[in-house]
Amino acid sequence: MKTLGLYIDFPFCIARCAFCAFDVEGYRVRWAERYMAALHQEIETYAASPETAGRQITSIYLGGGTPSRYPAAVLDKLLSRCRDRFEIAGDAEITLEAHPATINVHNLTDFQKTGINRLSLGMQSFSDEQLQRLGRRHTAEQAVTAFQTARIAGFENIGIDLIYGLPDEKTEGWENTLRQAIALSPEHISIYALSIEAGTLFNRKVREGKLNLPKEVETVMLYERARKLLTCADYKQYEISNFAKPGYESRHNLRYWHQEAVRAFGVSGHSYLNGERSVNTDNIPDYIEKLEAGLLPVIEREKVSPRDAAIDQIIFGLRKIEGIPSEAITHDPIFKQTGQTLEDAGLLQKEAQRIKLTPKGMHFADEVAMAFL
């Protein structure tokens, strides 16, 4: 049976983080209710389409934004609609992204009753100074409490997101964050390098010379330190930024790296289904108004050519630590030459009929992708 993953975006936050470039808004009840009604309408429309017929849903990811800002009853109604309109696998992974400042034992218990069985906590750092710089509305202590409360509520699959390469960050501070994360023993840990995006507070501070960021060589050292500490703590790295205890790899995220079908609902939703890519508007009012008018919020749609599909297989597949089968590159003369050039540069390596990034290549994954593009 064909499978499908669902991504549902919630573009409302308690505050905009200093590094955030997404189209997010403060949570206002009437505005959030209109958005939720639009989500229900979009789900109804696609559930009735032939492209999703006969597909079993194996993962649902509630992301954003801050979906944990919504009451559990609202999310329960949305998930119930998905269950009514799609065939959901009995063991489907259902993930909720949560901000530590928005959860407590009451709503966590209610979230779990909705069928949500995986929690992704955006902790980012265990340094109060860094959290304040990032614009996070929680302290390190509150983050720890949120994690412990999730355990009390019954969550047995919890992931933690961390950011490295923060302003003025030293190895000692990053190691302290990693050790505190490991001490909590989550099932999954993601580490992301700070990216300075246009339109963000950090971008403005960089232009004004008010942000002291680590040099590239220092960021590389932070990443390598994380790989060593997490590996020693029995976390298996399965993708450039992701580490998990055995059996707890993010099944939804793996769909993207395997180039499997995903239908995304909500603002900025990126879908890939039946050889076609589509992108929703990134403007919240535009999204709501289109669906209220009975229109789909799609602003881009394209059929993926066999050539582009092959490039995607290489680019996304190389993000996985296992890499890709050698024939994905060697069957094509241009791919083969590009691969050899990258191998000569120490970015790719061959191992047991597979091609994968070298440790050096992991730091230059974007450059590797551009080489194939």
Tell me the pLDDT tens digit for each residue of 223-278: 999 999 999 999 999 999 999 999 999 999 999 999 999 999 999 999 999 999 99
Pick from 125, 161, 121, 119: which is nearest to 140 by CA? 125
pLDDT at 367 over 90: yes
- Segment 331-360 shows an average pLDDT of 93
Same domain, 35 and 176: yes
Q: Note the pLDDT of residue 181.
A: 98
Any domain includes 272: no
Q: Note the pLDDT of residue 312.
A: 93
Q: How confident is the model at residue 348 (pLDDT cuts 50, 70, 90)?
A: very high
* Amino acid in the structure at residue 181: A
pLDDT at 39 over 90: yes
Q: What is the DSSP string of 108-129?
A: HHHHHHTT--EEEEEEE-S-HH
Same domain, 216 and 151: yes
Percent pLDDT > 90 in the chain is 80
Query: Which CATH number goes with the domain that contains 370?
Result: 1.10.10.920
**DSSP-derived pairing of the beta strands 87-98 and 55-64:** parallel
Same domain, 61 and 144: yes
Same domain, 121 and 33: yes
Same domain, 253 and 129: yes
- Segment 200-223 shows an average pLDDT of 86
pLDDT at 22 over 90: no
Query: Which CATH number goes with the domain that contains 99?
Result: 3.20.20.70
Q: Note the pLDDT of residue 211.
A: 85
Q: Which of 233, 257, 281 is the last residue of a domain?
A: 257
C-alpha to C-alpha distance for 289 and 291, rounded to whole angstroms: 6
> How many structural domains is the chain composed of?
2
Same domain, 63 and 142: yes
**Full residue range of the structural domain in which residue 316 is found:** 310-373
Q: H-helix or E-strand containing 156?
A: none
Minimum mean pLDDT range among 81-85, 95-99, 358-362: 358-362
Same domain, 332 and 198: no
Q: How confident is the model at residue 67 (pLDDT cuts 50, 70, 90)?
A: very high
Any domain includes 328: yes
**DSSP-derived pairing of the beta strands 236-239 and 298-303:** unpaired
- Segment 297-304 shows an average pLDDT of 96
Q: Note the pLDDT of residue 286.
A: 95
Q: Note the pLDDT of residue 108.
A: 97
Same domain, 114 and 234: yes
Q: Note the pLDDT of residue 203.
A: 79
Please tell me the pTM assigned to this model: 0.94
Same domain, 107 and 205: yes
Per-residue model confidence as pLDDT tens digits over 110-154: 999 999 999 999 999 999 999 898 888 889 999 999 999 999 999
Same domain, 320 and 250: no
**DSSP-derived pairing of the beta strands 158-164 and 118-124:** parallel
Any domain includes 215: yes
Minimum mean pLDDT range among 45-49, 198-202, 228-232, 276-280: 198-202
* Amino acid in the structure at residue 373: L
C-alpha to C-alpha distance for 78 and 191, rounded to whole angstroms: 30
The mean pLDDT value of the chain amounts to 93
Same domain, 350 and 211: no
Q: How confident is the model at residue 17 (pLDDT cuts 50, 70, 90)?
A: confident
Any domain includes 16: yes
Task: Name the phi and psi angles at 338, rounded to 5.
Answer: -60, -45
Same domain, 38 and 149: yes
Any domain includes 300: no
Any domain includes 273: no
Residue 7 is classified by DSSP as E
